Every structure is written in C-alpha cells, then in structure tokens.
Amino acid sequence: MVFVSPDLSETMKDGGSPSGREIGYAFALPRLIARLGGRRARRAEFSRWEAYGMGILVFGVSCVFVAHTLLPLVRPAFAQLLVLLLLPFAVWAAFLLLYYVNSLMTALLRRFGLYSAMTNNLFQHHVIMSLTTLLALLLVRDESGWMKSLGVFWLGLLFLNLISILFLKFLHEL
C-alpha cells in the first residue's frame, strides 16, 4: 500500500511565487485588474483558468452560431434534437480540422520564411480569435436578445483586453 503525503514547499503554499503575491496571466485584462488591485502580475504563457474559460467561451460561441445556422434548416423536432445532441461533437471535429489546417499553413509559411516562431501558438491564437470575433459579429446582427448579448459579451471582452494592452504598454508593464 502506498500513502501519498503532500509536502509542499513554502513557495507553493504562498501562491506559487517567492513573494506569494505575483500571479501570471496570459491576457492583459486580468493582469491590469490584478495590478489595480495591488498585486504584482506577470505575463505567463499558460494560465489554466484563462485557458479553460476562454476555451469554453470560444466553443460556446461556435456551438451557438452553428446551432443558430443549422436549426432553421431542420424541420422535425426529433431531427432538431438529434442535431443538438451531435452538434458539440461536430464542432469539436471542426476545430480539430481547423488546427490541422492551421498547422499546414504554418508549415507552408515557415517554408517560405514568413513565419519563424518556434511554436504554432501565436498563429493559432490569432486564427481562433479572429474566427470567434467574426462569429460574434454575426451573432450581434441577430434579432434574438441572448444571442446578441453573447456576441456583445465577446466583443466587449476583446475590446477591454485591447484597451488593457494599451494601458499596460503605456505603464511599461507589458
């Protein structure tokens, strides 16, 4: 039998940094909020909660847009239910295909010397955020209040993040 005992160092108990006050965020808006709240924030490549939250939001906006587009084409209620059940898997498969095409585009750009980053993260980030912004803009044009609200929410977060980047850049904290 094996017993596991957590033996966390003082660094881990204090919040993951030697001072216990520095937090890492990938997006500028949480860094600005943390800084305005009196905490030191640094730029981090990966932040678990930001990745989960943004991934769920991107997936949600995509699923809502695809459902809004497909459901008027399907008439029987049983078929609509089937479409709604299969929709998350179809969107997931579409994202996998998008990531594959994205990697092929990145390889092609590298071959021509137009992209030199070590990873595809930056290019993938721009493609996914641009696509989601396009879908949000299309949702804003809808008459339905909650779909319009979802599009406005995405565009508002995008706008606030861009303003935060400018504000942090102005403060030389980026």
- pLDDT given at position 10: 40
H/E stretch holding 128: helix 121-140
In this predicted model, what pLDDT tens digit does every residue of 102-152 receive, in sequence order?
999 999 999 999 999 888 888 998 999 999 999 999 999 988 889 999 999
Average pLDDT over residues 70-98: 95
Please tell me the total count of domains within the chain: 1
Q: Is the pLDDT of residue 27 over 70?
A: yes
In-domain check, residue 14: no
- For residue 4, is it within any domain? no
On whether residue 7 sits in a domain, the answer given is: no
Does 81 map to a domain? yes
**Domain enclosing residue 109, as ranges:** 48-166
pLDDT at 47: 80
- Report if residue 125 sits inside a domain: yes
Name which of 76, 96, 78 is nearest 86 in CA terms.
Answer: 78
Per-residue pLDDT tens for 28-64? 888 888 888 888 888 887 788 888 999 999 999 999 9
- The two tokens of residue 133 are 């912004």
Helices (H), 2-144: 10-13, 28-36, 48-70, 77-111, 121-140
In-domain check, residue 173:
no
Please give the pLDDT value at position 21: 52
**Is the model's pLDDT at 23 over the cut of 90?**
no
84 assigned to some structural domain: yes
Residue 61 resides in a domain: yes
